[in-house]
Structure 1
């Protein structure tokens, strides 16, 4: 960029509305705060002078608190001493925000401070990052830290003054401060504390808050020892301790089978517990699966273990652990995890349920690093911690998008595992299946029309068909099914969908594309969509259809594939069945 005409471009614009005035004020802040204009450049100086006038004009239209909020925003750089000096002439809120937001060099601070109004210099004492030269200059100019007024001793000693007095001319603290030679009164016992009314004493809300915190600390220190050591504000509530039930924790055991480490939350309750009984001369006839694996240094998988002790850990548990060895090959113990065994129905978990539980635990461990990667990428892309090159921002945006897709895939895996094990169920509701299918096929058709493909559905012929599913769950299920089928359509391939009702069930039938017909097992197909604009999932068509089948079965229906046709059955709503029965009776009566 050979010529920077941004300021001239902004000044040419007219702020005709309130939103336009705010936008132009932000633009002036960004340009004037991040650029130093050469003083020998007459054109630049005239532009800057016009900018100051325009900023003052905008200040008349924008409230002070809104301008202060704009200045405190972190999305722009404030490196101009001239801008700081100009804003220091505005209202106190704006001046305070500007002087606390400015990031200037030591020379700029020493040149700026003498130019500031006297009332604005005190705002700099609220900062703790000023250069040493600037702090010394403030000391020479007599600008000291602001101090809160000391509570009056005389007012505390007078019992009649503990209630607010409306006829009092000035608070005792101010009367005491008028005579600096007066010695403070020291008592053996601290006087009773009264929280002063800010409107009565002229103090700020910050002063009242500081006094309340001091009162709380004195009350807490003088109070008898309580069993609950967590700090609580003195709001008069009754402390109620509630024991939290632990659902799982990690541990390590030594070579003797004694737990020597556990997570910090559970350590005091579990360390020292033995996983195996002491060895006897004749051996234990009723050896458990855990003891058998421990003796053979084998992995411990879904072994049952009963814990006794505190209520938070008492009960039946499942133990999964792996043996650990030193570099020399010597056995050093086990590393593993306890997870609580559920109700009576979970005592005998099927292999499928155990595998689903492992998948859920694995996904829980994988979400944390992926979420962290996504968060740091968004920080770079949005420049929250400072400017970044556009190339880095583009890479960060791509990483954030990939992380979002991975998290979406994790959600699908977790949902399938929960549906197959019965951990969650599709909620009941009422929704028109025909209307949802018509809307989704229309959305898919707008993308596939360019390839002369799509899914043809006649909503008028099907009529209104009410099914007993939650609207959001039903729409997600239909989209997953039709988007998977439509995304695999080749050029010129047109499929047909119909809806029929029979025996309390609604049947949505749709033809399969040639890519899926060629698969030996449709539910294990790894085919990807032809058009990336339609993508029903991260793991291919087979997984999407398995998830749709699990959702349908959880709702009381099913998803089946027969030759070249896929059929989704869903239960009809009770109200729709009643209407159908009534219509049938009327036709029979005729």
Structure 2
């Protein structure tokens, strides 16, 4: 016996709305699709019966869309066999999504319908044994039925042409005379053959005529390229062959952009008439290297997760008018009633001349880090969402122990996502792909405020932090209030978190004509570090923490943020020094940067 309380929970869920029906169908597919081979019992039987009822209540289009959803797991041969025997739309989706072992496929394939086996032959990830079995069965699957043979009788009945006498009997005619009445309408013209030696050999005559026609075409084409072509008159000796002339003439008249839509699989199913013969049917979501339309891995992943596409480069191979590089912008479309995914709607345009250098200047390492973070965010987001569903009891009551565990999981997932955001921010700042928001604030006021907020964290350890040099004079820097607080907090939280019991820290602040300078005394735990910006994890819990990746990473991120506005963060002789350029007030002389801009 196999018992799973998840099945019992799903079967107890109410289905009073269309959304509840789709949700229960999705949950049953996921649970039954991952059951072990030996699973049985009353709950399993009840789940299959409930799935059959839902299959009768939900349209096939909605069920097919649910089966094709990302993350759907169909690894149970029994469930795959049941789905493959349903409508063609369901069988197609099942054959595309099912992930069975090679032995399971070989056991299941002989029992599948011919149509289901035909859908399965389009898979390219099957084992050799499964492919060999499909080839053997294909000997019979791919044979067309023999046509019905009609025997010709000795006599044929002449049909009534509507002119004869009503009620008269049809006149029978002999079958052999049918072929005698087919005579040419007019005599065929005699074939003109040249006199001479060429008339002795028919093959030489045909080859010679073909060579002369090709030479005549080449002469006509060379003359047309050197002068404006004249319209060909009927009976002209110059032949006109339909090669690339028509395409070359049309290419210059095509618009530089066209709108399109795709189906749920990512294949273009509509586009503007000018490009329809060339673009219709292109698969945009293909990962094959030899596909006619190729996108980068980030764009394919974004399409798989139904995310918008902006300024994505697409390389298309095909007719000369559409071949080359295109810039794609598209958004996913969803059904307003059911919420099901329909496909993408967007536009392709030729990239501008200055689009290449900007793309080439990007740091490939930073792009790789951002791609990895994008792949990691997806499962963490899903885990956080499911944990919040359980903790908030959105789909029904849950035990308090489960809710407590779910709350812990949701909190940990939020911390992980916050760490991913910091990694992404550092990668984009160091590669120059991110610019901080424009704004200004008084950095002296921000520093004094955050010191007062963080001082209570030092009281239990009998430590303290003192600030000198803040005399009330403003120190306006080119940072928004939020960015300035974020930068200052990273530094303060790092040094306070590393401070020992009874240790007193000092911060000195000063300003000159062009810069605001803050000097932070480093705690004794960090004074022996040769490279304070090296990435290292914290050894234990801290009363105040600036991030989950440790002291070195946090200070490195703070340094990148300071450099983004023309400042710096350096470490020398136990002092961490932050330098930020000042902005002049409205009644003061222009700053150095403003004077250079005005001089231009």
Global fold match (TM > 0.5): no
Say which one has the larger Rg: 2
